[in-house]
Structure 1
Amino acid sequence: MSRILFVLYAEKTHLFIQVPLARAFAAAGHEVRVASQPELVPEITRAGLTAVPVGRDHGMGRLLALRPEFRSRFGGSDLPPFDVADVPGELLSLGYLRAGYADVVPWWFRLVNEPLVDELVGLCRWWEPDLVVWEPGTFAGAVAARACGAAHGRLTWGVDFFGRVREQFVRLAAAESAAGGSSGGSGGVPGGDPLGEWLGELAGRYGVGFDEELTTGQFTADLLPAPFRFETSIDYVPVRYGTYNGVSVVPRWLWEAPVRPRVGFTLGLSAVERLAGYSVSVVEILKALAGLDVEVVAALSGAEGVRAELEGSGVGADRVRVEEFVPLAALAPTCAVMVHHGGFGTIGTTSLHAVPQLALAEQLDAIWLARGVTSYGAGTDLRVAEATGERVAHEVRRMLTETSYAEGARRLRADMLAMPAPAEAVPHLLHLAERHRRPPTANPYRAPNTRRKATT
């Protein structure tokens, strides 16, 4: 039996991504714990997993509420240095990437990692996990793993723009150094390395030296097929996306087959919980969809107000049903088309059910995810500025009438089903853990009779 620790800063949608793999490890007989800030503990335990609260809650929510400039960056497509992840390497500027890291490290990475890292290292040195699985922004997971000698790897929740940008930064910095640039910064990176310098200082507190494993892990479990990936040299381990919708109840009305083709509509959780709200005119789009010969089911925060506005416009519930929450795993199989925000969980769930998709993407990772769906011919994507009611209705009508979209959706599902399910991936991940373990750094938490490392 091995000990597996999942690590993330308190972000509910990131937890939902981790749950299927965590459950797979537990079902295989391994001891699984999930470490995060206290705010997330109720969601972890509701998922049937063992929670370990570490540190104090981060201030990302307060920052985004108080500082519109950060909210717009985090919720939009303009987030240097990651907004150029899809730009060909020869067109990238080291100065742009460096300035982007210098901006994003303080208000994102420091903000969410610093409050939990000390207790997380203490937990790892005491519990001695064999494998630490961390979400790509929780670098503290890599530091804690190295401090206790555990293997560690990332689990993606989107297209790996973190890894792509980091590789390009390292490549350009090496080229600048070879060309005679001034020395300085972490690891001798000329002109400085804001991410490396911060991570080097953070890791150094616990006797851990900086190297690139702290930025991208020893391997990365990737939950979507290879066509969604950026080109990198990272060791990606394919693991099929698994569905978890949180605490869910399937409503009685969903048992009945729709009389007309059903169009699902959802814009995710983050837009309301973390950001400023929806960036498209929800009522305008729903009214336009109601003009088609379809039944619309919309899962939206603030459903009561949306229902009242639709009823005031003469749109009846027989055409548009608006609910506060409908479990997507139950709704998607009943739909002919799904209209959504391009979120990772929504795309993963919809793709598993071979439903054509229209993504109204705004956040940078959502834009790339939506393009991946489009590349399969499984749907199409619109930027938020183009997402008028008329345009959305036009695209949905095309997806209902042109068979190529359903064929593309089936191709996408086939590629997802060809990936190892979480339970099938567990043995390979344990083999990687065995290969990557290292001796721990000095450990003030070690008891006199520590356990023998579990074998896999």
Structure 2
Amino acid sequence: MTVRVLCTAVPGSGLFLPTVPLAWALRAAGHEVLLLNNGDGARAAAGAGLPVVDPLPERDLWAEFLAAVAGMLKGDADREPERGGFGWFGQHMIDGMLPVARAFRPDLVITTTEQGAGRLIAADLGVPLVEQGIRLGWAGLEEHVVTSRRDIADYLEPTRQRLGLPEAPVEPVATIDVRPPSMGGTATDTQFLMRYVPYNESRVVPGWVALPPERPRVCLTLGSVLPALGGVGVLRGILADLSTMDIEILLALGDIDLSELGELPANVRPLGWMPLGALMPTCAAIVHHGGSATVMTPLVHGVPQVSLPKFADQPLNAKLMADRGVGLTVAEPEQVGAALARVLDDPAFGKAAAEVRDEIAEQPSPAAVVARLAELV
């Protein structure tokens, strides 16, 4: 039986790109799939070879969201949205999403927790709603997810009433959990464990990336949000410390202007945008901000980690990683160098990382989960 599946998420890369492998698996199984996303999220979906519609092409909601966050951090009241929270995305996207969804006539809607519009669409069409977990720290049946789900539903209640949509249960009929069991992953009759498959967009990878390095190779990244909020300056001291170590540093910061860092140390290679999954097989460690996708990708490859978390779910992701023995989390940039030296020198971190890697490999693949999703229709 062919199932028609509508997938949606918030357009931020870290909140959308982890959903791509399941959409691939649905299409590979012969199901019809349509994604609804905005701005860079829509363009990334198209780049991943997926059918996608941008319901609000005249706006870039993620750019607006980051500008508002930056304004709040700077105390600029004029840049603050009238209401904060992830429900804001559903509020602004739903008017364009509904006509497309009604025309597509899905049998199933898959959404992330953050995109509350998926719940409204499923209710309008009378089809099952599945929530796809994409985070390590906020996932599955955890209290934070349950609370966030309800908060977003409350946020969108005026929108639901304005559009005359039927009331809908806050809870989805099923959830997908990508966490390894030793880090919280839980399987129930309505919660499906799924192997995390990294996807960080596609790029042509230089040949040397795949070759064994002459000295330990360490990836250094801050994800996509922190650099956009002006967080690159924190790297100056970190790079100065790491320049004294006998390592090769892969600096993965996207298309951010690095001029404020001055002349880079001799052991640093700036890469721009490069899929983390392509870098991890030859890396001995990674230093990062604690973003969920940035923690999960090295877990898949068994790479030890050092995390300097800042906000959102980053501290929880970093704590879960450190508690599992896969790496260390530090509070200040000045602590990164010593933590990295310890992670590289102590084989216990590599052993724990290899254990988690093997655990993830044994989890049901997206293809296996697709079969369970089809049974919900």
TM-score, normalised via structure 2 length? 0.87
The offset of 1:268, in angstroms, is: 0.9
Aligned to 1:135: 112
Which of residues 315, 323, 344 in structure 2 aligns to 1:400?
344
* Matched letter for residue 67 of structure 2: A
Q: Distance in 1 between matches of 2:321 and 2:69?
A: 33
Q: Distance in 1 between matches of 2:368 and 2:258?
A: 44
The offset of 1:118, in angstroms, is: 2.5
Verify the 8 A CA contact 2:288 2:307 in the aligned structure 1: yes
Which of residues 196, 203, 224 in structure 2 aligns to 1:241?
196
Aligned to 1:199: 156
Q: Distance in 1 between matches of 2:304 and 2:23?
A: 29
Aligned to 2:356: 412
Q: Distance in 2 between matches of 1:230 and 1:372?
A: 12
Aligned to 1:364: 312
Aligned runs of 1:9-20 on 2, under 5 Å? Answer: 9-20=10-21
Aligned runs of 1:174-193 on 2, under 5 Å? Answer: none
Q: Distance in 2 between matches of 1:43 and 1:380?
A: 32
Answer yes or no: is 1:296 the counterpart of 2:254.
Answer: no
Verify the 8 A CA contact 1:199 1:210 in the aligned structure 2: no
In our comparison, the structure showing a higher alpha carbon Rg is 1
* Matched letter for residue 361 of structure 1: P
Answer yes or no: is 1:282 the counterpart of 2:232.
Answer: no
* Matched letter for residue 170 of structure 2: E
Answer yes or no: is 1:325 the counterpart of 2:280.
Answer: no
Q: Distance in 1 between matches of 2:131 and 2:89?
A: 16
Verify the 8 A CA contact 1:4 1:130 in the aligned structure 2: yes
Q: Distance in 2 between matches of 1:62 and 1:50?
A: 24
Verify the 8 A CA contact 2:179 2:185 in the aligned structure 1: no
Answer yes or no: is 1:164 the counterpart of 2:143.
Answer: yes
The offset of 1:105, in angstroms, is: 9.2
Residues 1:363 and 1:19: Cα distance change in structure 2 (over 3 Å): same
Residues 1:36 and 1:66: Cα distance change in structure 2 (over 3 Å): closer
1:155-194 CA distance string (max 9 Å, x none): 1221226962364699xxxxxxxxxxxxxxxxxxxxxx97
Q: Distance in 2 between matches of 1:307 and 1:277?
A: 11
Aligned runs of 1:50-129 on 2, under 5 Å? Answer: 50-55=51-56, 57=59, 59=61, 61-66=63-68, 68=70, 70-71=72-73, 106-129=83-106
Q: Secondary structure at the match of 2:353?
A: helix
Q: Secondary structure at the match of 2:258?
A: helix
Q: Distance in 2 between matches of 1:66 and 1:195?
A: 18
Q: Secondary structure at the match of 1:26?
A: helix
1:254-283 CA distance string (max 9 Å, x none): 13321111111111112233xx22266212
The offset of 1:59, in angstroms, is: 4.2
The offset of 1:418, in angstroms, is: 2.0
Aligned to 1:31: 32
Which stretch shows the higher mean deviation, 322-331 or 134-143?
A: 322-331
Q: Distance in 1 between matches of 2:74 and 2:195?
A: 32
1:183-242 CA distance string (max 9 Å, x none): xxxxxxxxxx975544333334344114322xxx22221111234449999943211111
Q: Distance in 2 between matches of 1:333 and 1:207?
A: 48
The offset of 1:122, in angstroms, is: 2.4
**What RMSD over aligned residues (CA atoms) do the two structures have, in Å?**
3.0
Q: Distance in 1 between matches of 2:262 and 2:244?
A: 16
The offset of 1:66, in angstroms, is: 5.0
The offset of 1:44, in angstroms, is: 1.4
Residues 1:347 and 1:48: Cα distance change in structure 2 (over 3 Å): same
Verify the 8 A CA contact 1:220 1:234 in the aligned structure 2: no
Residues 1:12 and 1:60: Cα distance change in structure 2 (over 3 Å): closer
TM-score, normalised via structure 1 length? 0.73
Verify the 8 A CA contact 1:25 1:423 in the aligned structure 2: yes
Answer yes or no: is 1:258 the counterpart of 2:202.
Answer: no
Residues 1:342 and 1:194: Cα distance change in structure 2 (over 3 Å): closer
The offset of 1:141, in angstroms, is: 0.5
Which stretch shows the higher mean deviation, 287-296 or 24-33?
A: 287-296
Which stretch shows the higher mean deviation, 26-35 or 122-131?
A: 122-131
Aligned to 2:285: 337
Which of residues 333, 358, 369 in structure 2 aligns to 1:387?
333
State the number of aligned residues.
368
1:127-174 CA distance string (max 9 Å, x none): 22111111111111111011111111111221226962364699xxxx
Which stretch shows the higher mean deviation, 3-12 or 371-380?
A: 3-12
Q: Distance in 1 between matches of 2:300 and 2:41?
A: 27
Using CA pairs under 8 Å that are at least 6 residues apart, name the structure with larger relative contact order, 1 or 2.
1
Percent identical: 26
For structure 1, the residue ranges without an aligned partner over 5 or more in a row are 74-102, 171-192, 435-456
The offset of 1:301, in angstroms, is: 3.6
* Matched letter for residue 427 of structure 1: A
The offset of 1:29, in angstroms, is: 0.7
Which of residues 300, 306, 309 in structure 2 aligns to 1:352?
300
